[in-house]
Amino acid sequence: MLSYTNKADIKNFSIDQIKKWLENRGFQAYRAGQIFNHIYLHQVDDFNNMTDISKELRSLLAQHYTISRLGKTKILFSKDGSQKYVFKLTDGNLIETVLIPEKKHATLCISSQVGCALDCQFCQTAQSGFIRNLTSGEIIAQVRDIRKEVDNPQRLTNIVLMGMGEPLANYQNVVKALNTLTDRHFGLQFASRRITLSTAGIVPKLMLLGHDTTVNLAISLNATDDNTRSRLMPINRKYPLRELLNACRRYPLKPRQRITIEYVLIKGINASEADAHRLARLLRPLKVKINLIPYNEHDKSDFQRPESAAIQAFRDILVNHHYTVIVRHSKGRDISAACGQLRAQLL
């Protein structure tokens, strides 16, 4: 039975906010660390089980806060080993999170919004339109809940913000969630260098991100001229290629860090040899590695993936220009969990 509650999800608060809250009520600030350890390291779901905290404080916390989990509706298993979790939020909206096992570790691909407003012509998430931003608690919960479920939680070391939504369009909640995900003492203890945020290129937010976090940056570039890019990704009309690449040039990187350039290869649109040469030229001033993603076809779109020979030729040109290039064959295509296929349809 659903009951109305005006309690707040404690996962929406930073440790500093909870410290303040405690101090205002006469409790010691360090209690916040104990509470966060219970929630994030020990997966505690009930304030009452935090037995190193006084009964008085436990009941006060329970009066004001919940430690919620996402509603699980289903898990789809791909034959390549990846798993798609479909979660139901408290307002009934659905989001998707994909667990991708790799050789030595597992990567979690998380969502930042319900739907997306950017309307990229090749992406299925765009088709549901924008519904709402996820709260920082809902972003964190995708990681916390799945870490509780998996057989081998230590293997889950990497996170990519490449699920539904545009993370930089939900900037504050995303940065807040990243702070808790990477807090080494009181949060989920992920290493920033193992987290990658992918953006379609909201330039002003990009500059803030480099200032506020040290996570890796990925740019969905997908075209080498403004005409093509604006047609594929309307956000390019607001922040054209030159501005985007300039922002990338100024983006603060650690000594061995590079920006990942994602480039979806679409037959007849952006995958010619001339495009490959142009891409090599555009990226020359930057420290990058390039992920080529052969287009994942779906029935709502006429776009096609290029033939393998064309993909190979595109890659070879970039390699000859001395770039590090990976051709990413998206996982989970059979369960609609691949790049651009997340849309949380009612199944």
Contacts of 7 (CB under 8 A, 6+ apart): 63, 64, 65, 66
Check residue 332 for interaction with ligand SAH (CB under 6 A).
no
Please give the Cα distance from 89 to 102 (Å, whole number).
28
Please give the Cα distance from 246 to 200 (Å, whole number).
15
In this chain, which stretch among 74-82, 197-205, 267-275, 314-322 interacts with ligand SAH, using CB under 6 A?
Answer: 197-205
In angstroms, how far apart are the furthest CA atoms of the chain?
69
Least distance CB 206 / ligand SAH (angstroms): 11
Q: Is 184 exposed, middle or buried (0-12, 13-18, 19+ CB in 10 A)?
A: exposed
Please give the Cα distance from 297 to 302 (Å, whole number).
8
Check residue 209 for interaction with ligand SAH (CB under 6 A).
no
Show the tokens assigned to 347. Answer: 């199944």
To which residue do tokens 């989920």 refer? 188
Check residue 311 for interaction with ligand SAH (CB under 6 A).
no
Contacts of 232 (CB under 8 A, 6+ apart): 120, 121, 122, 222, 223, 266, 269, 270
Check residue 173 for interaction with ligand SAH (CB under 6 A).
no
In this chain, which stretch among 27-35, 173-181, 252-260, 292-300 interacts with ligand SAH, using CB under 6 A?
Answer: 292-300
- Catalytic residue numbers? 96, 339
Interface residue with ligand SAH among 14, 66, 198, 260 (CB under 6 A) is: 198
**Size of interface with ligand SAH, in residues (CB under 6 A):** 16
Check residue 295 for interaction with ligand SAH (CB under 6 A).
yes
Which amino acid, one-letter code, is at 334? D
125 or 180: CB nearest ligand SAH? 125
In this chain, which stretch among 11-19, 25-33, 245-253, 288-296 interacts with ligand SAH, using CB under 6 A?
Answer: 288-296
In this chain, which stretch among 6-14, 37-45, 78-86, 193-201 interacts with ligand SAH, using CB under 6 A?
Answer: 193-201
142 or 198: CB nearest ligand SAH? 198
66 or 270: CB nearest ligand SAH? 270
Check residue 296 for interaction with ligand SAH (CB under 6 A).
yes
Interface residue with ligand SAH among 175, 188, 264, 325 (CB under 6 A) is: 264
Interaction mask 110-149, ligand SAH, x per CB under 6 A: ------------xx--------------------------
Interaction mask 51-90, ligand SAH, x per CB under 6 A: ----------------------------------------
222 or 224: CB nearest ligand SAH? 222
Check residue 339 for interaction with ligand SAH (CB under 6 A).
yes
Please give the Cα distance from 310 to 56 (Å, whole number).
67
Angle, vertex CA 91, rays to CA 86 and CA 94, nearest 5: 20
Please give the Cα distance from 324 to 286 (Å, whole number).
12
Check residue 200 for interaction with ligand SAH (CB under 6 A).
yes
* CA atoms within 13 A of residue 313's CA, in its CB half-sphere: 12
Q: Which strands, in side-by-side order, build the sheet including 288-294?
A: 71-77, 83-88, 94-101, 106-109, 156-161, 195-199, 216-220, 259-265, 288-294, 325-327
Please give the Cα distance from 206 to 212 (Å, whole number).
10
Helix, strand, or coil (residue 145): helix
In this chain, which stretch among 12-20, 24-32, 33-41, 196-204 interacts with ligand SAH, using CB under 6 A?
Answer: 196-204
Interface residue with ligand SAH among 158, 199, 270, 336 (CB under 6 A) is: 199
Check residue 262 for interaction with ligand SAH (CB under 6 A).
yes
Residue 119 — φ and ψ, nearest 5°? 65, 35
The residues binding ligand SAH (CB under 6 A) are 122-123, 162, 166, 198-200, 220, 222, 262, 264, 293, 295-296, 339-340
